[in-house]
């Protein structure tokens, strides 16, 4: 078996966990692979440099941001993925370091389940109607105000029907997977990752009503920037940071592609959730 590794140098200083994992993989007679363009200065006995496309699964080492980065990496997009938690919370990370050896044994024996996690496809159009960006999100698509404390107004449409104007700091459109990320911090609900829905959560809305819309995953969402005094920024899974201007539109819908997410332990989402939430508060 060829196992792709996706390490994070910031989360694994000195690559102690990565080196240990490579040693364990080769000890079982399997092959540890890191693509040539990733961490080119990292070397370890037994490590093979080669394409991720030849691998059977990927292990991400870091935090949730590392997993998100791997999910968007071109050559590993279709690989089933699992994460080793080296971050502060790791909602997306299935493996804690103290269970790494046990986890590797189960992976090599193909003793795991694979879940499909939904993605959002977002497209941004400028004031002339020209498409300037298309991207996918495993967690969320966010339109937020600029660096100055000036609110923006976003017009929300769902399936071509005008719903409301939302004044405030912006709007988060998230997947069920992303419901425990930024959307949760903005007051959104926690949704099981297998739910077939999309969440629309206002950020600090300047209104007496602050509620998340939970809509069908078949819906199409349009957010139009109606008013801004200091610009607004579009980010997709925290990446990019595209400046948009008044009159720009962002369309969001479910993507056709899914992320293959490996589950090992058979634990319910609701079993691990309280510990993750509590850890978020204690680890910062």
14 CB-near residues (< 8 Å, 6+ apart): none
Q: For residue 93, give the nearest of 119, 118, 69, 120 by alpha carbon.
A: 69
Q: For residue 166, give the nearest of 157, 149, 153 by alpha carbon.
A: 153
Tokens for 54, please give them.
């030849």
Residue written as token pair 């292990």 = 59
Q: How far apart are CA 64 and CA 73, in angstroms?
A: 14
Determine the Cα angle at 66 with ends 198 and 2, to 5°: 110
Element spanning 249, H or E: strand 249-263
Which of the residues 10, 12, 41, 64 is marked catalytic? 64
The count of residues in the chain is 284
- Pseudo-torsion of CA 21, 56, 86, 197, nearest 10°? -170
Active-site residue flag, 64: yes
187 neighbors 210 (Cβ within 8 angstroms): yes
Active site residue ranges: 64
């Amino acid at each position: 078996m060829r196992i792709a590794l996706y390490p994070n140098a910031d989360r694994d200083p000195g690559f102690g966990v990565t080196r240990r994992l490579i040693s364990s993989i080769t000890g079982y007679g399997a092959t540890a692979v890191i693509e040539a363009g990733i961490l080119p200065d990292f070397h370890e006995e037994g490590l093979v440099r080669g394409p991720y496309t030849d691998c059977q699964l990927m292990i991400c080492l870091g935090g949730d941001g590392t997993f998100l980065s791997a999910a968007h990496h071109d050559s590993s997009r279709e690989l089933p993925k699992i994460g080793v938690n080296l971050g502060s919370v790791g909602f997306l990370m299935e493996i804690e370091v103290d269970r790494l050896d046990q986890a590797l044994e189960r992976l090599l024996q193909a003793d795991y389940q694979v879940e499909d996690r939904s993605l959002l496809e977002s497209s941004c159009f400028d004031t002339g109607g020209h498409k300037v960006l298309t991207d996918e999100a495993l967690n969320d698509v966010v339109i937020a105000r600029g660096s100055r404390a000036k609110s923006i107004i976003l017009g929300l449409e769902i399936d071509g029907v005008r719903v409301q104007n939302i004044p405030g700091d912006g709007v988060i459109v998230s997947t069920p997977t992303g419901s425990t990320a930024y959307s949760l911090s903005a007051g959104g609900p926690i949704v099981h990752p297998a739910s077939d829905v999309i969440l629309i959560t206002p950020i600090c809305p300047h209104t007496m009503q602050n509620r998340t819309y939970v809509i069908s995953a078949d819906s199409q969402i349009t957010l139009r920037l109606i008013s801004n005094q200091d610009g607004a920024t579009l980010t997709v899974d925290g990446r990019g940071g595209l400046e948009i201007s008044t009159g720009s539109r962002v369309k969001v819908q479910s993507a056709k592609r899914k992320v293959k997410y490996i589950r090992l332990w058979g634990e319910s989402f609701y079993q691990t959730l309280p510990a993750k939430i509590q850890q978020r508060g204690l680890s910062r």
